[in-house]
Every structure is written in structure tokens, then in C-alpha cells.
Amino acid sequence: MISQIIISGLAVGSVYALMALAMSITYKASEIPNFAQGEMAMISTYIAYVLLVVQGISFIWAFLFSLLFALVLGMALEFVFIRRAKEPNLLNLMIITLGFQMVLYGIAGWKWGADQKRLSMPFSESETYDLGGGIVVSQLGLATIGTAVVLMLIIWLFLRFTRLGLAMKASQQNAMAARINGIRTNRILSVSFGISSVVGAIAGMMVAPVTTLDPNMMWDPLLKGFAAAVLGGLTSLGGVVVGGYLLGIIENLFGFYISLEFKSVVAFLIIVIVLYVRPSGLFGHHYVRKV
């Protein structure tokens, strides 16, 4: 029984891990917690819905087009709003992302209304595979876990071996030195927002078939992804992924053994407790500010 719960925890955890990863990419680049992440993913998922269901394009093209849209949306957030902030301190930038989130939420509600749509995916939730020992996993769950793992691998390879990835890493570590070496750091920042928006959009498309497609659908994944990112330590990409899976599993175990009703509270209680013991998360670096 417990391994069954862990498997379904992994499927939920994949979504949290992807959202946390998206959060962490922008956080590392700019030190902003991007609250618009969820709504950006939601809008991108709606674009996929429009292409797939309304226009009737094949799944793979709809998927790719919506990812392209997510990339542009993320870069636009940085280029149009964040770069223009007069006093770019944490509070002001956070407020910009909150404002952007409200705008996107309003647009989605205005265009598509609050009625729930169905995003049809080639993976179904009702079809299940038996992994032996009575453990079953749905096709969708398997696809979610698989996509998340592949995506994380791609991101790791990208940051490690491509010029752009290295430039991103360099400007995260020391923006001034990166600029001296000829890296256009503000373009890199824009690209970071774009990439994190793409990662979020993929998470959104994984969520949409499980719940339904409506403007509120990314609230829960966003907050949980946020919690997972803080749990793992926002600055470590590996850490936030571990945080996401850990959160998914703990939540499911708590829901089964202790109380289903308070399942969604447990994430935030864990956060407060973990932060109390380790103020920068499980795997984050504890930084000391100098005078």
C-alpha cells in the first residue's frame, strides 16, 4: 500500500517539482519570487487548448506552439515590466509579478469565462498499468513523471554544456564579472524568464487533464511549487526538484494515514517548520549578508 501511495505522490510531485524548478530558475537569475508563474502557465495551457480543440491542430504542434507562446510571454514580462521598474527592490518587483498575475487572470476570465474546459491529451487517466505487486499507475501519471524527468535532464544538460546555459550560470553567480566578460546580462535575464515560463507551461499542461482547465487551476500547483522550492532551497536546482517530490510524497502519505481534510495545510506547515530549522531550505546555501 505504501509504495502505491509513494508512486501517486511521485506523479503529483512531478508537477510540484516542475513549478519549483521554474520558480528557481527566475529566482536564481533575479532574486524575484515570480508569482505570475502559475497564471503564465495557465494562459499557455489555454493557448494549447485553443489550438488543439478549437482549431483542431495535431497535438504535437499545439504543444510546441504553446511552448513558444510561453517563451515569448516570459520574455515579455521581463522586457516590458520588470526591466522598467524605477526602484528594483524585492518588494517592488514582487508587486510587479503580482500585478502581472492579476492581469493574466483577468484576461483568461474575460476571454474564456469561469466555466471549465477539457484539455484532451493523448494520455488518459483511466488507463492504468500494473507495475507488479498490486501497484498501479495511470498512463497520465506515468507520462507526467516521464516528461518531468526528461525535462529536468534537458535543463541540466542545457545549463551545463551550452554557451547560453553557461552565460546564464555566469550572470547568476556574478553579474558584474559576467558583464565585463561580454555577456549581455539583461538579455540573459529575459531568457531566464522565458525558459522558466516554458517549464511552467509544461507543468500546466500536465495539471489541466487531472483537474479541469479554468482560470483558477494553477493556484494550488503554484503555491505548492513555491513551497517545494523553498523547502529544497530556492538557490539549488537539484534541491528544488527533491523538494517537489518530497512534498508530493509527504502530502499523499499525510492524506492517507492522518487526515485527508488537512492534506493541503501540511505543505505550508512543513515549510514553516523547515524554515525554522534551516532558514534557506534543505539544500540551499545559507548566505550571510556583509555590511
Partner 1 sequence: MPAEMKRSYYEDVQPLKGGPARVWFAMLFILLIAAPFLVKSYYIYVMSLMAVNVIVALGMNLLVGNTGQISLGHAGFVAIGAYTSVMLISGAGVFFPLALLAGGLLAAIFGFILGIPALRLEGPYLAIATLGFGIAVTITIGRIDLFGGHMGLIVPKPEFAGIDFSGDRSLYYLVTGIALLMGFAMRNILKSRLGRAFHAVRDSEIAASTLGVNVASYKTLSFAISAFYAGIAGGLWAFVLGFINPGLFSFILSILFLATVVVGGLGTILGSVLGAVVITFLNLQAESIQFLPLIGDALVWISRSFMSMSGLPNVSWILTGLILIFIVIFEPLGLYGIWIRIKIYWRTWPF
Residues forming contacts to partner 1 in the complex (CB under 8 A) are 27, 31-33, 81, 84-87, 90-92, 94-96, 98-114, 219, 223, 226-227, 230, 234, 261-262, 264-265, 267-269, 271-272, 275-276, 279-281, 289, 291
CA 135 to chain centre: 28
Residue closer to partner 1 by CB (options 122, 279) is 279
CA–CA gap between residue 198 and residue 22 (Å, rounded): 8
Number of residues written out for the chain: 291
What minimum distance in Å lies between the beta carbon of 73 and partner 1?
A: 15
Cell 524575484 maps to which residue? Answer: 32
Residue closer to partner 1 by CB (options 62, 96) is 96
What minimum distance in Å lies between the beta carbon of 132 and partner 1?
A: 37
User: 197: closest CA among 34, 81, 63, 28?
Assistant: 34
What minimum distance in Å lies between the beta carbon of 31 and partner 1?
A: 7
Residue closer to partner 1 by CB (options 32, 140) is 32
> Residue 239 has which C-alpha cell?
534541491
Sign of the four-CA dihedral 19, 23, 24, 26: positive
Residue closer to partner 1 by CB (options 43, 145) is 43
Cell 556574478 maps to which residue? Answer: 174
Residue closer to partner 1 by CB (options 131, 272) is 272
Residue closer to partner 1 by CB (options 226, 245) is 226
CA–CA gap between residue 83 and residue 86 (Å, rounded): 9
3-class state of residue 246 by DSSP: helix
- The H or E element spanning position 224 is helix 219-232
Q: What CA–CA distances, in Å, run from 49 to 66, 142, 239, 278?
A: 9, 22, 32, 41
- CB neighbour class for 277 (10 Å; exposed up to 12, middle 13-18, buried from 19): exposed
End-to-end Cα, the chain, rounded Å: 53
- The H or E element spanning position 128 is strand 128-130
Residue closer to partner 1 by CB (options 86, 163) is 86
User: 254: closest CA among 275, 230, 270?
Assistant: 270
Residue closer to partner 1 by CB (options 7, 108) is 108
What minimum distance in Å lies between the beta carbon of 145 and partner 1?
A: 26
